A and B are shown apart, each in its own frame.
Chain A
Amino acid sequence: MSNAIAQQRGLGAMIWDYITTVDHKKIAHLYLVAGGLFFLIGGLEAMIIRIQLMQPESEFISAGLYNEMITMHGTTMIFLAAMPLIFALMNAVVPLQIGARDVAFPFLNSLGFWLFLFGGLLLNVSWFTGGAPDAGWTNYAPLSTTSPGHGVDYYVMGLQISGAGTLIGGINFLVTIINMRAPGMTYMRMPLFTWTSFITSVLILFAFPALTVGLFLMMFDRMFGSAFFDVTAGGNEIIWEHLFWIFGHPEVYILILPLFGAFSDIISTFSKKRLFGYSAMVFATVLIGFLGFMVWAHHMFTVGLGPIANSIFAVSTMAIAVPTGIKIFNWLFTMWGGSIKMTAAMLWTLAFIPSFTIGGMTGVMLASAAADYQYHDTYFVVGHFHYVIVGGVVFGIFAALHYWWPKMFGKVLNEKLGHIAFWPFFVGFHLTFFIQHFLGLMGMPRRYWTYFEGQSLATGNMISTVGAFLMAIGTLVFLYNVVYTAIKEPKASADPWDGRTLEWSIPSSPPFYNFKQTPLVRGLDPLWIEKMEGRKGVTPAEPLGDIHMPNGSVLPFLMSLGLFIAGFGFIYQVDNNLWYIAVAIGMGLTLGSMLTRSLKDDLGYHIHKEDLIEKGDGK
């Protein structure tokens, strides 16, 4: 009895700890758990879609519910699963890789997470309040502006809130990487994962404001009677498409770039070689980031922008294949002649290279504007973007999780189970999506609820659904592995992979202040340099001294909660003006918390030198 109470208090204390934490490693855990949960929800939606399409003229779910499924699957996977999982990795790894004790804005870091979470929750509440958004993840007007019910309103408010969180997270990582690097860690000595996180953050900074404006316009049109997308009052729907894709295309590079970085680190670690063409890799990353902004209209070839605009965007799109090709070859050359160790992380990485290359080639096919008139809105497009997003982003997340799991949780994921999870997922992935290219070429349009017997689409769809089940099995094995590892596996050493970068120079999992003494970086792959010179650890750059740490705070949680409440108010004030009370309460909570943050001094605290020495002796 008393034991149970103690345990309860322990649990309560832990929850409070996580709600108020500003430690980047704990925020990484939060991002991972929340993003993982949304990944499972999105995966469940995908399974329902595949079951519906398994047979011709299936009535497994209604057409309306099917629209909600595809909308929520896309939105959830992009905004609520992939983005936070990437932020989980960035939070867990970037400060360690650059030898920092924390991020630049620990408070904003926590705010970014809670905004994302409450935005995601708001979006998913729509399932229980009369229907989820049903206008596709791209939410094109006028389909979205005329969609009945409140589904699309949830889309607008949910994404607005979580988008603000992402923007804050992006700025935080930019400043962290600019200002918090350890002595000697010049830009051209940063590990590739840090580099790609940096470029991704730049893309977030410039892409998300366009989404913010687009969502505001959509919100005004749906809730306050403005006429941006209302043609009868002189509006123009193409504005939404442009704003959405000015954000949306950089978004796909935001997703893939950090994982390019992770793959680079993994390949060089498990090939026991320095990354081939480091500076070319950095240059390619920057170039992809820049070109990523100049290609958005390739999503709109069939809108009728005219041949000149279409040609410009076709050429710039194809140009992206060049820096991406540089990367592919550099990875291959890194492995060439290396002593390759086939860990689970490496397995996912090796699977990524051909899978992503296929996605890249269909991308160049789609970039040809004239041909795109045939491919547009067919399953060919669905096949293409799943090849890059699953074959690139999801494979990358699995690889990176296997690789950095010891740093995040102090234990190495079971390798055998890792291999067992990989194979069904890998085979299932190709089974699901390869056939979809052909379904598309045979004329199957995307987003259709069903198809008829005798259109020769049944076999292909059946194969695709079988593949989806295999992917689900792989995911379940991975989840089992997580639980198994937590219970059975022993504690990991500081450097289980014989790593090359700074994160492997400190214990797994690291103490909350990361580095007892800030390390001195003497070149690319700093830990490897020290190892080659026969030293055990990295040379410190400073004598042991007091460490300054930030205080935890509950304010980020409250600010986000306030916006969550206000979100409901905005959605329902259309029906009843009394809902403005919710807007007032929510905004009051948010602005009040902001004022408190601004006025109350928060100087943090110091860990004293003596305490550090004691702890050091204990180890």
Chain B
Amino acid sequence: MSHEDVLNPNQLPHDPEKATLEGKNKFIGFWMFLGGETVLFASLFGTYLALVRSTSGENTPENLFGLELVFIMTMLLLTSSLTSVYAMYHMKNHDFKKMQLWLGITVLLGLGFLGCEIYEFYHYIHEYGFTFRSSAFGSAFYTLVGFHGGHVVFGLSWIVALMIRNQKRGLNLYNAPKFYIASLYWHFIDVVWVFIFTVVYLMGKVG
């Protein structure tokens, strides 16, 4: 396949994300990476679960966590997962404009999530004096949730960079795999969040 074909936005097969060898490689390689990320987050979850009772003073999970904010964050992130599914749907139908639109909505929802998380951390630190250094529980909590937050930041920057870069030239076989794996990454962030709100917040609240 010549370079012109790869970059031509008017000739797209179905499944443009897996039409080229590079695309197939990226697809498989990124799934492998997610397999590794599973172990990474499992190690963080394990550490958190081992240290969740190592609290100091009043700052226990039961006292700290407020469910309202976590509920809003969960809804934001879950919905953003659906909107990125919509984006990929339009990619498969070769409708670039709609794909960009839905990705844009995904980014907005992600930013909303991030804002809530920053507010939450700020709240803990200033209202409760609950910091990264205050106890082993604090270290483990901020590391686990912070790693997830870091993934959100990276995912958002990635999607925004791709959207701006390809705004003018539209979808082609070269960038379709990039959009696709960025959306996979975004879904994976949601997978991790499902366990965070269950294991950290809800089970922490149950005690």
On whether A and B touch (CB less than 8 Å), the answer reads yes
17 contacts between A and B (CB under 8 A): A171-B32, A175-B28, A179-B25, A206-B35, A209-B36, A209-B39, A209-B40, A210-B40, A217-B47, A225-B132, A226-B132, A227-B54, A227-B133, A228-B47, A235-B51, A598-B161, A598-B165
Contacts of B44 in A (CB 8 A): 213
B55 within 8 A of A: yes
Q: Roughly how many angstroms separate A178 CA and B88 CA in the complex, as a whole number?
A: 25
Partner of A212, one of B3, B32, B40, B143: B40
Contacts of A324 in B (CB 8 A): none
B110 within 8 A of A: no
A230 within 8 A of B: yes
Contacts of A175 in B (CB 8 A): 25, 28-29, 32
Contacts of A174 in B (CB 8 A): 28-29, 32
Contacts of A599 in B (CB 8 A): 161, 165
Cβ contact within 8 Å between B136 and A228:
yes
Cβ contact within 8 Å between B139 and A226:
yes
Q: Give the interface of A toward B (CB within 8 A).
A: 104-105, 167, 171-172, 174-175, 178-180, 205-210, 212-214, 216-217, 220-221, 224-228, 230, 233-236, 239, 242-243, 246, 595, 598-599, 601, 603, 606
With A175-B29, A603-B3 in contact, do A234 and B133 touch (Cβ < 8 Å)?
no
Q: Roughly how many angstroms separate A217 CA and B44 CA in the complex, as a whole number?
A: 9
Q: Give the interface of B toward A (CB within 8 A).
A: 2-3, 6-7, 21, 24-25, 28-29, 32-33, 35-37, 39-40, 43-44, 46-47, 50-51, 53-56, 132-133, 135-140, 143, 158, 161-162, 165, 174, 178
Cβ contact within 8 Å between B25 and A105:
yes
Cβ contact within 8 Å between B33 and A228:
no
Contacts of A209 in B (CB 8 A): 36-37, 39-40, 43
Contacts of A246 in B (CB 8 A): 43
With A167-B36, A214-B43 in contact, do A233 and B54 touch (Cβ < 8 Å)?
yes
Most A C-beta atoms less than 10 A away, residue of B6, B46, B53: B46
With A167-B36, A599-B161, A599-B165 in contact, do A227 and B135 touch (Cβ < 8 Å)?
yes
Contacts of A226 in B (CB 8 A): 132-133, 138-139, 143
Main secondary structure of the interface of B (DSSP, over half): helix
Report the minimal beta-carbon distance from B28 to chain A, rounded to whole angstroms.
5
Q: Roughly how many angstroms separate A392 CA and B24 CA in the complex, as a whole number?
A: 36
Report the minimal beta-carbon distance from A66 to chain B, rounded to whole angstroms.
33
Partner of B178, one of A172, A225, A227, A598: A598
Cβ contact within 8 Å between B55 and A234:
yes
Cβ contact within 8 Å between B29 and A104:
yes
Contacts of B143 in A (CB 8 A): 216-217, 220, 226
Q: Which B residue's beta carbon lies closest to that of A240?
A: B47
Report the minimal beta-carbon distance from A261 to chain B, rounded to whole angstroms.
20
Q: Roughly how many angstroms separate A208 CA and B37 CA in the complex, as a whole number?
A: 10
Report the minimal beta-carbon distance from B147 to chain A, rounded to whole angstroms.
8
Known: A171-B29, A205-B35, A234-B137. 16 other contacts (CB 8 A): A104-B29, A175-B32, A205-B36, A209-B40, A213-B40, A213-B43, A217-B143, A224-B132, A224-B133, A234-B55, A235-B54, A236-B51, A239-B50, A595-B161, A599-B165, A603-B3
Q: Which B residue's beta carbon lies closest to that of A201?
A: B32
Q: Roughly how many angstroms separate A104 CA and B25 CA in the complex, as a whole number?
A: 6
Q: Roughly how many angstroms separate A216 CA and B147 CA in the complex, as a whole number?
A: 11
Q: Which B residue's beta carbon lies closest to that of A595?
A: B161
Q: Roughly how many angstroms separate A83 CA and B178 CA in the complex, as a whole number?
A: 31
Cβ contact within 8 Å between A171 and B161:
no
Report the minimal beta-carbon distance from B206 to chain A, rounded to whole angstroms.
21
Q: Roughly how many angstroms separate A104 CA and B174 CA in the complex, as a whole number?
A: 15
Contacts of A228 in B (CB 8 A): 47, 51, 136, 139-140
Contacts of A208 in B (CB 8 A): 36
Q: Roughly how many angstroms separate A233 CA and B140 CA in the complex, as a whole number?
A: 12
Report the minimal beta-carbon distance from B84 to chain A, rounded to whole angstroms.
18
Report the minimal beta-carbon distance from B203 to chain A, rounded to whole angstroms.
19
Q: Roughly how many angstroms separate A178 CA and B30 CA in the complex, as a whole number?
A: 13
Cβ contact within 8 Å between B133 and A171:
no
Q: Which A residue's beta carbon lies closest to that of B161?
A: A598
Cβ contact within 8 Å between B6 and A603:
yes
Q: Roughly how many angstroms separate A523 CA and B79 CA in the complex, as a whole number?
A: 50
Partner of A210, one of B43, B54, B136: B43
The 6 A-B pairs with the shortest beta carbon distances in the complex, nearest first, are A234-B54, A226-B139, A209-B40, A234-B136, A213-B43, A235-B136
Report the minimal beta-carbon distance from B162 to chain A, rounded to whole angstroms.
7
Cβ contact within 8 Å between A227 and B138:
yes
Report the minimal beta-carbon distance from A598 to chain B, rounded to whole angstroms.
6
Contacts of B28 in A (CB 8 A): 104, 174-175, 178-179
Contacts of A167 in B (CB 8 A): 36
Report the minimal beta-carbon distance from A119 to chain B, rounded to whole angstroms.
18
Contacts of A239 in B (CB 8 A): 47, 50-51
Q: Roughly how many angstroms separate A246 CA and B43 CA in the complex, as a whole number?
A: 10
With A171-B36, A603-B3 in contact, do A598 and B162 touch (Cβ < 8 Å)?
yes
